Each structure stands twice: as C-alpha cells, then as structure tokens.
Structure 1
Amino acid sequence: MKKAGGRRPSGPPYIFSFVWLIYLVYPLYDFSSRPIDQLIEGIALLIVFVGLYLYSYRRQRGRLYSVLGQLLMVGIFTFRYDASFIYFAFYPSPLIGMLPNKKQIVISMSAKVVLYAAVCWNYKLYLDSNSLIQLVPAMLVMLALPFAVRAGHKAKELRAKLNLANEEIARLSKNEERQRISRDLHDTLGHTLSLITLKSELTEKLITRNPERAIQEVKDIQVTSRAALKQVRELVSGMNAVTVLEEMDHAKQILTAAGIGMETKSELDGRIPSPLIDNILGMCLRESVTNVVKHSRARMCKVELLKQTGTLQMIVTDDGDGTDNVSSSAESQTASCNGLKGMRDRLKLVEGELEFESAAHKGTRLLFTVPLVNKSGEEGESRA
C-alpha cells in the first residue's frame, strides 16, 4: 500500500528505480557489436534482469529471491560475456539494504561476496593490477551501499517514531488539562448547583402554602447563584493565570518526555511584579516550548530570564534544525507563522517586543522584551 506523496513503506519512490536504467545503454551498445545470436540472447537476459530489478524495487514480498536472481544474472553476464558486467551488481546493492531482516541481508551479502570471489578467480584478476585498481573500489562501494541504505532507512523510522511520540505527548497534555478542568468544575460547582436545585424544588412546593418562606428561598437561590458565578470567574481566572516560573516547571516535564534537555537561568528574585506581564510571558514560553518539541528536533533547549534597566528579557534558545525561510523582520515573521503572530499580539498588551533568529541546522532563538511596568496597578489607579 502506498503512502501519501507516492512513497511506499518499504523504500524510496518507485520512479527512482527507473533513473538507473539509463546505464543499460552501455551493455546494449556492447551487444550490438556481437553476432545476432548473442545480441538476441543478451537482450533477453537484460529484459529478465530489468524485470527482477523493478519487481524487487516495487514489492517487498519476495524481494530476497529477486535480489538473488539479479546476482545470478550478474554472474551469467560476467561469465558469459565480460568481467566488466560485475558493475551490474550496483542494481541489487541498495535493494539488499531494503530487505526486512538481518538474516536475509546476510544471505544476500554472502551471495554477493561469493560472486565477487568467483569472478576474480575465473578471470584471475588478482594477477592484473590494472583490473584490480578498476574493480576493487567499485566492489567495496557495492558492499558498503546496503549498509548506507539500511542506516538511512533506520533514521527515517526513528524520525517517524519521534514525530508520533511528540504528537502523543501533545495529546496526553491536552487530555490531562481537560481532566483537570473537569475535576475543578466538579469540585467547585457540584455542591453549589446541587444546593440551587434543592432550593428550587423547595420553593416550588412553598409558593402556594407559604409564600413568605418561598420568597426567602428565592433570595437564597439568588445569593447562591451569585456565589456560583463568582466561583466560575475565579476558576477561569485560575486557568488563565499562567506564570513564568510555573510554566518553566511544566516545560521541563514536556521537554524531558520528548527526550530534549533543558537549561534554565533566572535573574529574578521571585515572581514578576506585574501579574499581567507574568501571565503573558508564561503563555509565550508555553508556545515556544511547544514549537521546540513539535518542530525543532533539538537536543537541548535553554530558557533565560534576564533583568535589564527598566526591562525584562526572556530568551528561549534551541539547537535544532532551525530554518532559513523566516525572515528576521517582525512583520514577515507574523505573516508566515501563526505562533509568532499570536505571541507578538500578546506582547502588544504590555508594549513588549519579539525578536526571532534562526538559521538552517543552527537552531532558533526567541527574545522576548517587556518593560517592567505594573499595568494592572496603573489601570486600578486610573479607574479610581
């Protein structure tokens, strides 16, 4: 079954296999100078060889037998025509690295070594230094090629598993947040709403029998509902009140789960004086760490909180892949990345700024700068 983008689980795109068939022009040219019977025989053998090659590139099932068949065909070509046909072993070499298990790889590599030894012995290449200089390097490359392909395939599998792990971490984090909200709502509002229900039922019964008592119960329901509304506001406020210090602890857990190390440096004595700045920087830190986990493929992430004259700086740096596609100007950043735009919009509330630096294979650096002004205090004074 093919994957999205035309790729199959067992190897590179199928079209890639046709590229190398261009080199068949050389044996065709060689056959054209031979007698007609050898020409027909050579073309027929080439058709069989190409069929085995394309089949083994296309299908994982039976690939071992296709590879062994190709090596057998290479032996027929070399013993039947010329030792230079040993270069045909380049075709099955990458396919050996695509075999599903070590046992099949060992069998194929053994067959290839036996083929090389037989060709060297039959043509006594060990007595011809020129032939050795020409063929031995190519043989070594053909022997190493399966291991290179295997290593690349393993690296691709590891990247896919890492992406799945990162997605699972994000999903579990969301589920945990939903469960926490559910517990808080149940514990905070469960008793209050039950009390309102009971008083409503009691009021319904007292309306005709004892109106004055019913009026008092209605007043109690109003007081209780206002208390419930206050509890909801406090709960929502508690959900949104993300702080930098708390978010740093949360970031360490997320990065550790993703296999990313974390370094921290803080020049703060305690919490940030302004709750609004504390909340905004905490949300920006959460977004930054989420991007590191999802996209950077970093091994280390560093978070720094620095106090300058009249300003507070938060720096988030990683040693991941980075990118050359995002410009350093703030306008182009916000246009190309919703995450950066969201962080910049938050920082506008406290007259803060965001600087983005990134380069391919050199990591990414985010610099958040905010003035140390207590916005909530100023607003309270102005209202007074």
Structure 2
Amino acid sequence: MSNAFIKKLSPPWVPARYGNAPYFWLLSFAMFAWKYLYMPLTGSEILLLAVSFLFFLPIYFYSFWISGWRIYLCILINCALGIAWARYNFGSSVFCIFAATMCSRIHNSRKAYEGLAAVALIVAAASFLMRLETYFWIPALIFSIPSGLGAIIGERLASSNASLLKKQEEVEYLAALAERERIARDLHDLLGHTLSVITLKAELAGKLMDRNPVACKKEIYDIEHTARQALAEVRAAVVGYRATGLAHELQSAKSVLDAAQVELRTEIDQLTLPPAVENVMALAVREAITNIIRHAKASQCEIKLSQGNGLARLEISDNGNTSHIDKLSKGNGLNGMTERVQALGGKLDLFVTQGLRIELSLPMKELI
C-alpha cells in the first residue's frame, strides 16, 4: 500500500469527476468545535486533534483512488477513530459518517450496502458495549445511514452516466463512420457516372469537330452543363442532401445512352415512392447506366419499374457482353448499391442472360 499511498499524497487528491465537493465535506469537522463552546480546550487535546486529523486526511483522500480490501481498511480505521474519540468529544461521530460515505467506493452495490450496514452495526455495538453517550451514537447513526445511502446512490448514478456517455460516444463514432461511408458511396456514384458521361461526350465532340461543327459545339455545351451539374451534386452530397429523384435519373440515362448510341426502352408504372426508396432506385439507375457505358458495349438497354405485394421492383437489363461481371461484383459501385438496398430491407439480384440484368426489390413502406 505504501507506493500507492505516497503517490496520492500529491495533488490532485480526488478524481476530477468529484469536483471540489470532497473538500467542502471536510467542513463537517466543525462538529468537533461544539464542545469547546462551553469547555476549555487543553494543550493535550490540541495535540491529539492535530494528530488525528493529520492521520485522517491522507486516508480520506487515499480512499478515493482504491478498491478491494484497502477501502474496507479505510472504513474500519475511520470507525475506530470515531469510537476512540467518543468519550472525549461527541463530535467524533463525524469520523463514522465519513466511514459510511466511503462505502460508496465499493464497486459491488450489494457489498457497498453491506458495508454501510456493518458501519452502523459497529457504531451501535461499540456504543452499547462501551456505554457511550447518546450525543455520540445518535448523530453517528442518524447521519451515517442517509449520508452513506446518498453517497452510494450518487456513485452508482455517476457510474451509469459515465457508461451512458461512453456508449453515446460510440454511437456518435459509428454514425460518423456510416456517414463517411455514405458520402464515399455517393461520391463514387456521382463522379463515376459524370466522368463517364464527360469522357463519352468529349470523344464524340472530337469525332464531330471536323465533320459537324454545330453538333460538336452542342456536345461541348453538354460537357460544360454536365460538369456544372456534377459540381452542384457533389456539394449537395457532402452536406448530406441530394434531391435528384428517379425521374431525373431516367431522363439523364436516356440522354447519356442516346449519346452512346444505345437504345433505351422503358416500362415505368406511375408509382408514389417513399423518398428513401426513390433515392436508392435513382442511384441504382445511375450506377447501372454507368456500368453499361463503361463495360457492357451494349446496343440496347431496358428499364422497368413496377409494384406488387407491397414491393417496388426495378429491373435494368442490357444485351451487352458479360465478361466484366467478376470485376463489377468486386467494385465499389455494386457494393454500395447492395448496402443501400439492404439498409431499407430490400433485395438485389444479378442475372446473366443475353446480357446482364439487375433486379431490385424494395418495400414501399417508409422506414421510421
């Protein structure tokens, strides 16, 4: 005990979570002065009081940092100090009150209450056997029990608050991590699609430069418009908001596929989709069209949207080659699409037929 005891002799003497309260509690030793309002204070008593306080204070501050058998030892020492002084100064009951409050430092709640009961029993037994004055044992019992109960309850509440704060910090960390992943997925979809469109239109503009300057000028204008639109969407995604909508993505898909000379066929039922479902489907269309332009080398693309059994179903298929499917399955785009669908309780399937077919099924009910 000596090394830890010596270490705690230097400030801070109490853990920061207690604040300055433990120092103010020491003012309760004013009870010792009550006797000397009507009786003279002798030199021997001054010496004994000084020795007692100098012995008590290190033990008191030490009790804030320890556990196990050491805290029980501190409790017993304080009870002994109170009982030893009882015949000479009934204000010594304050030692027993401090012993009761030290029970709050016992980590096990049941043992803490048992320790408090033991303090009360020791005071009662010593008072009966030693026939101590009521001026000692009545305050010792009356104030020790509620003080000890309050300290134990307060300690448990502080511990619960600390645990709750720690869990809250973990939740905030996980939420921040999820938000970063969401932004990463969104930026991948936004930039991947937009850069593919810009590349395609730039290639087309290069081919039209000599043959059809008017059409070339239109493609260059489209590149500028697409770049500006992408910049706005990236800014919106960074702040957590993006309101493109499925209709906008279908219109954009038609424009891009026309530029790539891919025929688009659509069968779109008129549905009122929950915002979260519409957002996931819009992003799925964006990612699928990007993959068709980059890898599939398709001549036809078909998009179907329907509803049945409480589910919204989106199907995107093409007649292109399927040699890129392994690479597609390992890419960030498809993984991000799958994560979004699963987060809403939906399902995503890939089928290889004459080309690649992606099917999404999402519940129509908005998640709370």
Tell me the TM-score normalized by structure 2: 0.47
